[in-house]
Amino acid sequence: MYCSWNASKTRVLGAAWLVLLTGCGIVNNTNVPRPTKAGNSAAAVPVAPDGLRLGFVWNAESQNLYPVLGVSGSAHYGDGALTPDPTVIAGAATSTTSSSWGLVLHNDGKLEQWTFPSRNVTALAQGVAIDSKIVFSPLGNSAALVSASSGTAVVVTGLPAKAQMATLKLPAGFVAGEAAVSDAGSILAGTAHGGTGIQVGVLSDTRGFDPVVTVQSWGGAGFSPGASGDAAVIGDGASGQLLYVSNLTGTSPVIAPL
């Protein structure tokens, strides 16, 4: 018999996995209100002194990353984390209880790793496609810069201490902007599937692209935390269905609705 407890449990599981889809301490939103010093504008969002970081937001207008400080339900923007630089075109960052780090892309294709709040900068690469979307893994130790124009994904693993780079070729029919990355450096990517939806699969440097499931439209995706990258949640944007996929690194992934 289907009881209210089962319904509640299903909603809780779905909500928990939606949190996973967003990653930990990471917000990649270019439409957030522009942070400002308190009193500068009644319509802007005031900043707060430095404190506990819940994550970061990227604001394209000011070309800066802003920490989200405080606790859930009572949070504020902090000061811009980057030194003002008109050549910066994209950024994303993540936080743990002890440290914060991010990736910053410049308009000449230069990629840098930043450490916050010290603002220590390490050059990582040159020639990265400037339309790249930066995505962090759940624990923040890997990231991907996904470019539809170049058909590549630059994967950064070993963050923050020993960053290593690899470039993967995106599968044919890649749906621009739709990707997630695991802590192991694998990528969940969507490809156009003959006009019948989007085929979602795992892309890695060892196995290439392995299709997993077809959805009507991309509704978000996220790996479970951990080095194995063996499980993920995939959302169908048309039906609202969440799918839990396990054994991603095996020969027969297991798919279960949430």
Q: How far apart are CA 100 and CA 132, in angstroms?
A: 21
Euclidean distance between CA atoms 226 and 219, whole angstroms = 22
pLDDT at 35: 57
Q: Which residue has the tokens 């000449």?
A: 108
Task: Report yes or no on whether pTM surpasses 0.85.
Answer: no
Q: Per-residue confidence at 228, pLDDT binned at 50, 70, 90?
A: confident
What mean pLDDT is predicted for residues 160-189?
92
Q: What is the pLDDT of residue 33?
A: 54
pLDDT digits over 67-113, tens only? 998 887 888 888 999 999 999 999 999 988 888 999 999 999 999 99
Alpha helices (runs of H) in the chain, residue ranges in sequence order: 4-21
| 170 has a pLDDT exceeding 60 | yes
Please work out, in degrees rounded to the nearest 5, the angle formed at the alpha carbon of residue 207 by the alpha carbons of 203 and 209: 35
pLDDT at 4: 39
- Over 90: is that where the pLDDT of 15 sits? no
Domain assignments of the chain as residue spans, ordered by start = 1-22+171-258, 24-136
Residue 67 pairs in a beta bridge with 56
pLDDT tens, 150-160?
A: 999 999 999 99
Structure tokens at 52: 């506990």
